Structures are given as structure tokens and as C-alpha cells.
Structure 1
Amino acid sequence: MAKIGKRLKKAVASVDRNKFYALDEAVKTVKTNATAKFDETVEIALNLGIDPRHADQQVRGMVQLPNGTGKTVRVAVFARAGKADEALAAGADLVGADDLAERIQAGEINFDRCIATPDMMGVVGRLGKILGPRGLMPNPKLGTVTPDVAGAVKAAKGGSVEFRAEKTGIVHAGVGKASFSEEQILENVRAFVGAINRAKPTGAKGTYIEKVSLSSTMGPGLKLDVPALVAALQG
């Protein structure tokens, strides 16, 4: 069994495992406990009352966090001619067509988000077995297959986060950095949970958002008061 360091012991001791925290108190505690030698990511996990194996209980979408993620996002764009120029001007890291596809097939996958113009999907479609399992396949429902490549690149760079429920019905994501102010993290968490709440599928019955926890990369998780959190969003 791995030994628990003094830093983590102190962080764990500061958390009441049986308590359901108000969001503002949870954020304050998570920031206090994020004492690693790097800027820890603030992570959220939601347990949803869904069975993603059913088509009418899938939860997937994109949300723009008001304060970004604090992470540098590398963006690849499949586009030609003028659209390629627009993507580059907007800050895309990689832009190409068949040449970009060849690089990806050769194992060069050094990007975090992939965007394509609609006319490029014939090329991108051949990469499904490579991009799909990595969650990088462009999708019109997520705004990553679009003629507005400049807007999509800016959104990706500015803090848009994709979410998708796993087989167990859990959604998790990074919602900022420990160096963010409490208010910035609060705003990002509210935006993320609000997007999940709005994405409730038609087949979901009973309690939709069952559990929510907040933590930093190296810190203990805190359970949030879900009814209060949802009520605040609706209020």
C-alpha cells in the first residue's frame, strides 16, 4: 500500500467525509488543500441517474466556461484554402487536409481538439478508428464540424469543454486551476453543472443529478449539497 505523505494527510484531515458542502465552502477548501508544487486542476465529477447504454439516456455536449480552463489547448483543423487561412488566423496549431490526415495516421496526434469544415468530413471519416477512441472525432452536434472554423478555434482556445457520460453514468471534467480566484471557480462550476442539467435526456427518470464531488488533482474529494446546487441554478 502506498504511503500517504504529510501534505495529503493534512488535506484529508481537513475534510469531513460525511458532510455535503455548500459550493462556496467546497471551493474555498479545495483551493486551501491544493498545495502541490504545480498549479493543480480543479476537477468536478457528477454521478447521473442514467443508463448511457440506452440511446435516450445519453448525455453529451459542449459548454463554454466563463473563465476558461487554465489549460493550453492545442487545436487541429481540417480545412482548405480560405478556411485554412481563417483557422490559422484564429490561432489553430495545426491546419491541413490530406497532409494532416497522413500525419495523424502516422501517429502524430499532438492536439487536444479537432475541428473540420463540412466538406472535409470525407477525409476525416477515414480517421474514425484513430480519433474516435480518443474523443477527438469532429462532431456537428458539438460545433466541431462547422464552416465557422475561426469561431470554433477561438471557443476551444477560450475554454470550451466537452462533456460525455461514461458507461457508469459519470461525467467529469476540469473546471479551472487552483490559482483561479474563488469567484472564477464558482462561475465555472455553475456553468458546467448548468450545462449538464440542461442536457438531461428524455429517458432519464427519477433523480437526474445524484452526486457531485469537487477536488484538486492531488487533493481529497468533497461531496457537494446537490439539492442546494441545483436550486441555485434554477433560481
Structure 2
Amino acid sequence: MAKLTKKQKSLNEKLGDNQALYGIDEAIQSLRDLSSTKFDETLEIAMNLGVDPRHADQMVRGMVVLPSGTGKTVKVAVFARGDKAEAALAAGADRVGAEDLLEDMQAGNLDYGRVIATPDMMGIVGRLGKVLGPKGLMPNPKLGTVTPNVADAVKAAKSGQIEFRVEKAGIIHGGLGKLSFSNEALRANFDAFVDAIVKAKPSGAKGKYVRKISLSTSMGPGLKVDVAQVHGG
């Protein structure tokens, strides 16, 4: 078993205090110092919000572009015809089609991170509701994935745009990039993600909105971030 460095021992002692609060930059650096895996871990965020998503006026959902990217390659499928199809391909879509793409997905070929459609294609896409819905891939106008501007939507998906959606317990999870990113790049992604959540505050939210924030890595512990450092919470 590898010996712990002085820095890791110090961090482990601090981790023994379940109430310890970390500054944002301190949490990012501490998780980096604690990481000992051989793969490039993802920095993950969990936010506890003062909402009950069972009520429509307390749902928190949307898209945010992480300025430093995600560190992942996103496969994008687009339902479009003619000029729109050509534009989607030129923008970097991995697969573009209509009835042929419908049949392909019905056959179980769903290895995509984002599905986009032009409005006129929703008659076809609607037939995939039971297939795409459970995977969170159903195109949605509110999320910008049903749009006549498919080229822009493809570019956004490829450049670090991610979807967020609050879960039943009022928690939102998200990936903020890889530990191979610089601390500054991860901080920029953190700020963009939290800012998007704050701006998405629903009308039905009561009391304190951002209640808790924790950062972790794929294999690391969760560190509580001082919410007082987050503006607009």
C-alpha cells in the first residue's frame, strides 16, 4: 500500500470533520491532492435546492455551456431533411436522418449523448418517446433541442453544453470536467454551472434556494463547499 504524503494525511484529518466547509478553489485543489487513481477522474457537483420537483412550479431544468468543456466526446444525432440535414452534418453531427434514423433507433442503436430535431420532424421523433424518454434524450423545445437552427445546437452540444435537471429529493448532479483540466478551467465550469442553476430558480421555490453544495471526484470523497461564496443562492 502506497504511503500517504503529508498533504494527504492533513487532508484526511480534515475529512474526519463532517462539518468542515471548503472554499471553492480549496475544494478543487484538495480533491486533486487526494486523487490517486490511474484514470482521469471527473469533478462532480451536487447541489441541494430548496424545491420539491413534484410541483410543476418548482421544477429546475435547463442547459448550460461549460466554458472549459466537459472533457468528453458527445455523439449527436439529428432528425432533419434537406438543407438542415446538410447544415447539421457540416456542424459535426455524428448521424443525421429521418425515417432511416427512426428505424435505426427503434432497432436499439441509441449510443448518443444528444438528440436534436427540426420542428417539422417531431411527428417522426414522437414515435420514439418510449425509447428516448427514459434515457433523457427526447428533443425538447425548452432545452433548445427542437430547433430550426440545428447547426448551432450541434455546435453547442459538441463544445461543452450539458443538461441539468433536479431529482426527486431536490438535488442536481453534474460533471464539471476532468481533473486533467487546470484549477482555473474547473473553477470557470463551476461558476457557469452554479450561475445557471441560480438563474433557473423557479417561481415556486420557498425559503433558501441553494442549501448545500458538495464537490467530489469519481472515486473521491465529497467536500462541502461554503455556500456563502456562491452569489445569488
Interval of TM-score (by shorter of Structure 1 and Structure 2): over 0.9
CA drift of 1:34 comes to 2.4
CA drift of 1:15 comes to 4.5
Q: Distance in 2 between matches of 1:34 and 1:87?
A: 39
* Alignment-mate amino acid for residue 12 of structure 2: A
Partner SS for 2:108: coil
Query: How many residues end up aligned between the 2 structures?
Result: 227
Contact 1:23 1:229 in 2 (8 A): no
- Is residue 2:150 matched to residue 1:149? yes
Partner SS for 1:194: helix
Structure 2: segments with no counterpart, 5+ residues: none
Q: Deviations over 1:86-120 (max 9, x none)?
A: 11111101111111011111111011100000110
Pairing of 1:37-186 with structure 2 (within 5 A): 37-186=38-187
CA drift of 1:35 comes to 2.3
Q: Deviations over 1:99-147 (max 9, x none)?
A: 1011111111011100000110000011011111110000111111111
Contact 1:22 1:229 in 2 (8 A): no
CA drift of 1:36 comes to 1.0
TM superposition score normalised by structure 1:
0.92
Q: Distance in 1 between matches of 2:155 and 2:41?
A: 24
* Alignment-mate amino acid for residue 168 of structure 2: K
**In structure 2, do the counterparts of structure 1 residues 7 and 200 end up closer, same or farther at CA, with 3 Å as the change threshold?**
farther
**In structure 2, do the counterparts of structure 1 residues 14 and 159 end up closer, same or farther at CA, with 3 Å as the change threshold?**
farther
CA drift of 1:6 comes to 6.4
* Alignment-mate amino acid for residue 80 of structure 1: R
- Is residue 2:219 matched to residue 1:225? no
**In structure 2, do the counterparts of structure 1 residues 137 and 7 end up closer, same or farther at CA, with 3 Å as the change threshold?**
farther
CA drift of 1:81 comes to 1.2
Corresponding residue number in structure 2 for 1:194? 195
Contact 1:116 1:138 in 2 (8 A): yes
Q: Distance in 1 between matches of 2:90 and 2:167?
A: 35
Q: Deviations over 1:211-231 (max 9, x none)?
A: 100011011110000022226
Q: Distance in 2 between matches of 1:230 and 1:169?
A: 19
Corresponding residue number in structure 1 for 2:12? 13
Moved more, 53-62 or 220-229: 220-229
CA drift of 1:37 comes to 1.0
Q: Distance in 2 between matches of 1:39 and 1:145?
A: 33
**In structure 2, do the counterparts of structure 1 residues 6 and 230 end up closer, same or farther at CA, with 3 Å as the change threshold?**
farther
Contact 1:65 1:191 in 2 (8 A): yes
Q: Deviations over 1:14-61 (max 9, x none)?
A: 553321111010111112222211111110000111000001000000
Q: Distance in 2 between matches of 1:120 and 1:71?
A: 28
